[in-house]
């Protein structure tokens, strides 16, 4: 049964046994969160077992499982269908250095009416993730937004790792105010470290391909180039 909540959390998780318990422990300390939905996206490690343990500790946590890996974008649609929360916080499951204050910094500007979407931008964590977020902040997986934006996404454009790009483009088309929030000391491991070098490299190439596909589907190549060159967040 769907629960009417004010703030929900979406965490897509595919083989995230190494770090997801730490992220959930942080979220359990944030009182303004009403619901935490983990979409176990066909994990083959013990991600599900770890999340089940967290479920026993906090009634706000629940897990939905896909029998096979359907991709990050599909996990968003699954979570959205399972909640009536008007606001959603999207987080990666492998964050390092996350604290409750980071979550509150992301949530509050939207709830206060200062922005329609906030982006958590890594700063002062690891140089490689800091650089990535500095160059392409619109790709961050850490964001807080009104949940109705998901209704404006096509399943094709938002598939896989294209979900963040699709959300960003939709926010611009809707005229949303998007605010970048520095997350001091937060990072996540590179894919090549997180999943092993060759599987991680393959995963990275797949991510880039999904992003390009989303840009071409939603914008076409000319507008896609302009978008990448001219991205600016606004308050």
Query: Residue 215 forms beta bridges with which residues?
Result: none
The CATH code of the domain at 7-230 is: 3.90.550.10
**In contact, 50 and 21? CB cutoff 8 Å:** yes
DSSP string, 54-101: HHHH-TTEEEEEESS---HHHHHHHHHHT---SEEEE--TT-BS--HH
What's the pLDDT tens digit per position in 125-168? 999 999 999 999 999 999 999 999 999 999 999 999 999 999 99
What's the pLDDT tens digit per position in 30-81? 999 999 999 999 999 999 999 999 999 999 999 999 999 999 999 999 999 9
More confident of the two residues 234 and 126: 126
Judged against a pLDDT cut of 60, whether residue 234 lies above it is answered with no
DSSP string, 95-119: -BS--HHHHHHHHHHHHTTS-SEEE
- Map out the domains of the chain as residue ranges: 7-230
Per-residue pLDDT, 74: 97
What's the pLDDT tens digit per position in 190-213? 999 888 999 999 999 999 999 999
Confidence tier at 4 by pLDDT (50, 70, 90): very low
Per-residue pLDDT, 232: 60
């Amino acid at each position: 049964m769907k629960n009417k909540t004010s703030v929900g959390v979406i965490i897509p998780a595919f083989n995230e046994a190494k770090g997801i318990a730490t992220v959930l422990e942080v979220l359990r300390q944030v009182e303004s969160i009403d619901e935490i939905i983990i979409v176990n996206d066909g994990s083959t490690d013990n991600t599900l077992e770890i999340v089940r343990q967290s479920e026993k500790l906090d009634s706000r946590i629940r897990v939905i499982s896909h029998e096979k890996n359907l991709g990050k974008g599909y996990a968003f649609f699954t979570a959205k269908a399972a909640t009536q929360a008007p606001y959603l916080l999207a987080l990666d499951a492998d964050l390092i250095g996350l604290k409750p204050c980071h979550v509150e910094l992301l949530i509050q500007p939207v709830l206060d009416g200062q922005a329609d979407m906030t982006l958590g931008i890594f700063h002062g964590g690891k140089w490689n993730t800091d650089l990535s977020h500095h160059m392409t902040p619109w790709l961050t997986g850490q964001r807080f937004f009104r949940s109705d934006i998901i209704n404006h996404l096509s399943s094709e454009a938002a598939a896989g790792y294209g979900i963040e790009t699709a959300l960003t483009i939709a926010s611009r088309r809707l005229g949303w105010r998007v605010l970048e929030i520095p997350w001091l000391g937060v990072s996540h491991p590179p894919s090549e470290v997180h999943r092993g070098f060759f599987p991680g490299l393959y995963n990275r190439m797949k991510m880039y391909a999904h992003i390009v596909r989303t840009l071409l589907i939603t914008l076409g190549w000319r507008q896609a180039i302009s978008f990448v060159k001219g991205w600016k967040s606004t308050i």
